[in-house]
Structures are given as C-alpha cells and as structure tokens.
Amino acid sequence: MRHGRAFWLFVGPFAIGLLVFVYVPIAWSLLLSFFDARNTVTPTEFVGLRNYVDMLTDAPFLRSLGTFSVFAAFIVPLTFVLALALALLVNQISFMKAFFRSVFFLPTACSYVVASLVWKLSIFNGVRFGLANTVLGWFGAEPIAWTVSTSPPWYWLVLVTLRLWLQLGFYMILFIAGLQRIPQHLYEAAWIDGASRGWQTLRYITLPQLRTTSVAVLLLLLIAAYQAFDEFYNVLGTDRGYPPFARPPLIYLYYTALGSGGQDFGHGSAGAVILTLLIAGVTLLQGRVITR
Amino acid sequence: MISRRRLLSLAGASALLAACGSNTGRGGNGQALKQWYHAYGEPGVQQAVERYAKSYTKTQVDVQWNPGDYDSKLATSLLSDGGPDVFESTPQISSVRAGQLVPLDDVFGDAKSDFSESILATHTVDGKIYGVPQAVDMQMLFYRKSFFDQAGVRPPSTVDELIDASRRLTKGGVKGLFAGNDGGGGVLGGPALWSAGLDYVRDHQVGFDDPVAAQAIGKLRELYTSDSLLLGAVKDWAEPDAFTQGLVAMQWTGLWTVPAIQKALGDDFGVLPFPKLTGNGKPSVPVGAFGAMVNAKSKRINEAKEFVRWLWIERTDHQEDFNLSYGFHIPPRKSIAGKASKLTSGAAADAVKFVQDNAKASNPPDWTSVMRTAFNDAVSRVVRDGAPADAEIKGAAQKARDELKRLYG
C-alpha cells in the first residue's frame, strides 16, 4: 500500500519521536550492556557477557527481583479484584453514575510524585500529629513510624494503599468499558433460562465476556508492578540513597547507572535487559495460562 | 556538601526555566559560560550567585539553579557536549579517571597555602586538585540545654552516654534524638566508624574491615531499638524543624541550620561532635566542601578557569558573603575564616573548633557509589532489621575491596 503525503504528515513526527526517543535508546542500551561503560556512553572496552554474569550473581539485584515478584503476586490480583468490584458497583447504580465514575477516576490524573509526598508527609508521617497517627491516638495507641519501621514492615501499607488509590480508577474505567460492551440480550436470555441475578450471571455471563479486558488489565498490572519506581522513590528514598528493602529493580538500576560518582551504564543496561526479558517471560506465561 | 534538599518534582521546572534563560549577547564570542549550582535551601543564595556572575565583566556567565537530583543530572550532563562549563561538586575518582574534570592546580597560585589542607585533600585525586573549595559544611549534634538540665543529664562524651541520654530524655511526647528518618543509618554510619578509630577508606585499603566496626554499627542498632529516636518527621535531618519545634532533645544536623536554630531557641542549645566509642576512637564531625570545577568537555576551558579563579580566589568578598550571609558555612580560606566575626562565638565557634580538631571527610574522592551503597545497605540492615553486624560489615568490606582493586590495581 502506498501512503500519501497526509499519512506521513500525521504519522511522521510521531514515528520520528518514537525512533529517536525510544528505539535508538533501547538499541544503545543493548549495545552498552556488552561493554565496560563507566562514566561514558561511547565505550570502547568490549566485555561480552560479563555484565550479565555480574548482574545475575549480584545479590541486591536478585533480591529486588525476588521482592518484586512477590509484590506482583500480591498487588496484581488485589488491584484486579478491587477494580472489577468498583466497576460492577459503579455500573450498577442508577443515580449519579457520572459523578461516581469521575470521583474514582480522578486520582489517576494525580501526579505520582505529588501523591507520594501527600502520603509520606501528611497522612503517614511518623510524628504524633500525622493523620494516621492522630487517628491511632484517639484509640490510645502509640504513634507509628510508618515509612521507617521494618518490623512489622508498615511501609508496605503506605505503598500499597498509595498504589491502589492511584491506579484503581484507571483499571475501573477499563472494566466499565468492557462491561458496557456486553450485549444486554445475553443477560435477558440467561434470566429466561432461570439464572439468578447476581452470582450466576456474573459467573457465567459477565466474567467470560470480560475476558479480553481482563487479559489486558492483568498484562498492564503486571508490567506496572515490575516497573514500579515513582512512588517507591519518593516515599522511601532519602538524600542518603534508597534503603535495601522494598527496592524495585528499576530503582536499583537507576542508582547503578546514574548514581553519583559511579555511573556504570554497562551493568545498568545489562540489568535493564534482564528485567525486560523477565517481564516479557512472565507476561507470555500469563497469557498462555489465561487463554488456555 | 551533599546536595541535601531534593525535590524530584521540581527537576522538570528547572529545565523549563533554563530554557527561558536570556542571552543578551554580551561577551566576546557570543555565547555565555554556563555555570551550575545545586539548589541551596537558604533564601538568598540563588540571588547572590547570580549577582556574582553578573559582576564578572570579561565574559557573560549564565547561572543555572538545579533543584532536584543534582548529582545524577550533573553526572549525565558531563557525558554530553551540552553540560555546564563551570559547576559545583565534590570530585569523584571515577569522573577523574574518565577525564571529565580539568585539573585546577595552576588556578590557585599563591593562595593555595591559604586554603585549609584537609579540605584541599578532599578535592585532590592522584596528586592533582580538581575543585576550588567554595564553602565548608559540617554536621554535628545539637542539644537543648534546658531539656538536659531538667532531666539531670550531662552532654554525652561517649556513644554509650549518648544512647543513655537519648533514653532518659524521651518522655511526654518528646523523643531523645532525631538523626534522620531512616533511623540514623544514613548519616551516622561514618561517625560510628570514626568513633571506633576506623574510616571508610585508608591508603587505598578498606578502612572498616575490623571486628570493632561491627561493634560500632551495633551501637546504632542499640540506639534504634532504644525507642528514643524520632522517626518519620515531616522534614528530614538536614532541616532544623524537629529540633526547633521541641519534638526532640537532640538532633543530628548541619552547621547551616545554626541561624534558624538561634532565631527559634535563642541560646538554649549547645553543639557536640559525635562522641567516641572506646579509648581508641575519637569524637568526629563529618566535613565536606563543594568546590567549583571545570568541565573537560567545555570548549572554553581557559575562560572557565579564569572565571573560577576570579570568583573564588580573587574575590574574597564573594567567598565571605557566600559562606556567612545566608546559612552558616565555614569559609575554606583561613584568612577569611579567621576574621569572620559570626564564627567567633557560640555554636558556630564550637563548630569551627570541631572542624580543626575532629574533621573527617564525609565524601572522600575514592569512596565510590558502589562502596557507599554496599556500606549503607549493610548499616541499614543491621540498624533497622537487626541483621548480624559482623557478617553484614564483612560483606560490605568485600565489595569495597573489589572496587578498590579495580581502581588502584
């Protein structure tokens, strides 16, 4: 097919942007991963697979991959179920539908950085007049250092509630779109066949019809879990660096590649490639399992 | 000085502002020299450095103020051709080895002997000086005299006394000590080593590969579990707020907060170095200085060097203003520090004395980010998770040894 001038006029700038800002950096990073690239992006010393071997035997990197596999196993189903539940509720009600839809979707428009600072500095700060600690104080409990304490690891409560608040609305909208595409006559046919409103129609009509949406949502959730950065960096990071727990792979790689005084693009890029392969692998596996 | 007030959210804004920078076309070859600073928290500093740059007549100099993650931003820009000509930082051996910095030995001239030796040492790599120190920053322990009197506690002179004091001063909504929202692992790791007579790196060797290091770091764990630390404060250790609001009896913070603390508490506070652990150890204060450096990729190295010489060596009045008119810093030049009246009394005078007697480099050039991360991770796991200190320290020492071997062979 031949494309006219209009096609390139509209697609061209976007394609060029994609090429320059996405594909070239990806290829460059792949190249860097085979070099000793300390404090330079035009390295000369080829080291083969050594960076990969180093990263695969690097305990903190492996630990961060492990932590975030557990994190994904927890946050993905939780967000999925809650987003679906919200979508069903909002889709059911007959009054102020647009209002509720907007209210739940609104946090999606909020900056991760801003939300992180609100969570860290006003809701979950550790002093006695923080919001969460004030509430605890009503029941006579001692203030808790939410983002500091590691036993119990209260910081997960902060991070998970923050992530849910930011993300639920977006996935809810995806589910609502999916729900609205289910033809009404399917439900009517089911009722005639004696299916009860509620659990039976949900189980046999709604969920199967939502399959495409569900696969897409799961995929996006999984990628988002492994790519966690913003809220972790802003809630747990300090000017002294990032603590060794709850450290997302991307944050570890960020410090490896761009940390002050030790820029190491070779190892950073190798880690990024490993992470990409891991995400791709898990995603494919998940697709396999669900669509079977 | 570590760039200490970081707001990632503002990084984008600074790029926008920089894009709007005006170029009036003044100056010989059309383009202005680019000079970068990180964002100082004290009001007035930005206007001051812009004023200095404006009063330089030989070349036009555009100052860029960089809020956010300055270290990463600077390091990235040094890789490209678009970086600054002149910037402030502390030299790292990796940047020197990568040929990113211009040696500035010839810029000093006769003034070299006027700079404090220990500060110049932190800007020296492989025998060459890469930065002209602008302002010396140091950290120390601040304590409320009235709180100590009420509780009948004496200012601590050993680590055990510090832990004991912190415990006894914790009551009625007041905590004993605030040393950062991470429980002290970040800022007190170095002082803990020094308290036991150890160091990060010594003569190209790991300075903390010693059983005593585990004991010293174990003390931080003891402090953390004493239930007397303030954790999760709204502003972190670099700001005096927790101390001035009376949330704590002691806080670990920097000399730069002295004007704010004086304003809030009058003379109801005193300062101390981090105490010693044992007989072998010494009290210590971490000291560091940002220096003006020249980018080796700059197309106008000579003009950049001349500007640095003019700004921080010829114009002693600028150094004095920069160090003393906003937050408190110690001028790196002895002649200026000696006649600074603001540093001759009270807490500031004590600080100057600590720097003379107990200074330790907070960020030595060969303490690389790999070593720092390994050490900080180990300390954090010991302090916050109760991991066994000897094994953690050994692991960090091994990582540091590998890195030193890579650097020095």
Chain B residues near residue A245 by CB distance under 8 angstroms: 380, 384-385
User: pLDDT by residue (tens digit) across A98-127?
Assistant: 898 899 999 999 999 999 999 998 899 888
Q: Give ipTM to 2 decimals.
A: 0.76
Chain A residues near residue B6 by CB distance under 8 angstroms: 239
pLDDT for the residue B331: 92
Burial class (CB in 10 A: 0-12, 13-18, 19+), B195: buried
Q: What is the CATH number of domain B8-137+287-361?
A: 3.40.190.10
Chain A residues near residue B13 by CB distance under 8 angstroms: none
CA atoms within 13 Å, Cβ hemisphere of A18: 5
Nearest to A258 among B76, B233, B381 (CB): B76
Inter-chain residue contact A244 with B381, CB threshold 8 Å: yes
pLDDT for the residue B363: 87
Q: Which residue has the tokens 């999760």?
A: B232
User: pLDDT by residue (tens digit) across B384-406?
Assistant: 989 999 999 999 999 999 999 98
* pLDDT band of B235, cuts 50, 70, 90: confident
Handedness of CA B38, B39, B45, B50 (dihedral sign): positive
Nearest to B94 among A233, A243, A262 (CB): A262
Q: Residues B279, B111: contact at Cβ < 8 Å? A: no
A244 touches chain B (CB under 8 A): yes
Please tell me the distance in Å from A270's CA to the nearest CA on chain B.
16
pLDDT for the residue B1: 36
Nearest to A145 among B173, B232, B236 (CB): B232
Inter-chain residue contact B232 with A146, CB threshold 8 Å: yes
pLDDT for the residue B33: 94
Of B230-234, B277-281, B331-335, the poorest mean pLDDT is in: B277-281
- Asked if the model's pLDDT at residue B130 lies above 50, the reply is yes
Q: At residue B291, what are phi and psi to the nearest 5 degrees?
A: -125, 155
pLDDT for the residue A145: 86
pLDDT for the residue A238: 80
Q: Residues B329, B256: contact at Cβ < 8 Å? A: yes
- Asked if the model's pLDDT at residue B295 lies above 90, the reply is yes
Q: Which CATH class is domain B139-286+365-408?
A: alpha beta
Q: Comparing A259 with B124, which gets the higher pLDDT?
A: B124
* pLDDT band of B30, cuts 50, 70, 90: low
Chain B residues near residue A234 by CB distance under 8 angstroms: 8
CA distance A64 to B143: 39
User: pLDDT by residue (tens digit) across A164-183?
Assistant: 999 999 999 999 999 999 99
The token pair that represents A287 in the structure block: 């697709």
- Residue-range domain boundaries for chain B: 8-137+287-361, 139-286+365-408
User: pLDDT by residue (tens digit) across B136-155?
Assistant: 999 999 999 999 999 999 99
Across residues A26-37, what is the average pLDDT? Answer: 93
pLDDT for the residue B280: 76
Q: Comparing B65 with B342, which gets the higher pLDDT?
A: B65
Inter-chain residue contact B79 with A40, CB threshold 8 Å: yes
- Asked if the model's pLDDT at residue B26 lies above 60, the reply is no
The token pair that represents B142 in the structure block: 């601040």
* pLDDT band of B22, cuts 50, 70, 90: very low
pLDDT for the residue B116: 86
User: pLDDT by residue (tens digit) across A44-66?
Assistant: 899 999 999 999 999 889 999 99
CA distance B188 to A78: 39
User: pLDDT by residue (tens digit) across B258-291?
Assistant: 989 999 999 999 999 999 997 778 899 999 999 9
CA distance B242 to B168: 18
Using CA coordinates, name the residue in chain B closest to A256: B370
Own/partner long-range contacts of A196-201 (Cβ < 8 Å, ≥24 apart): none
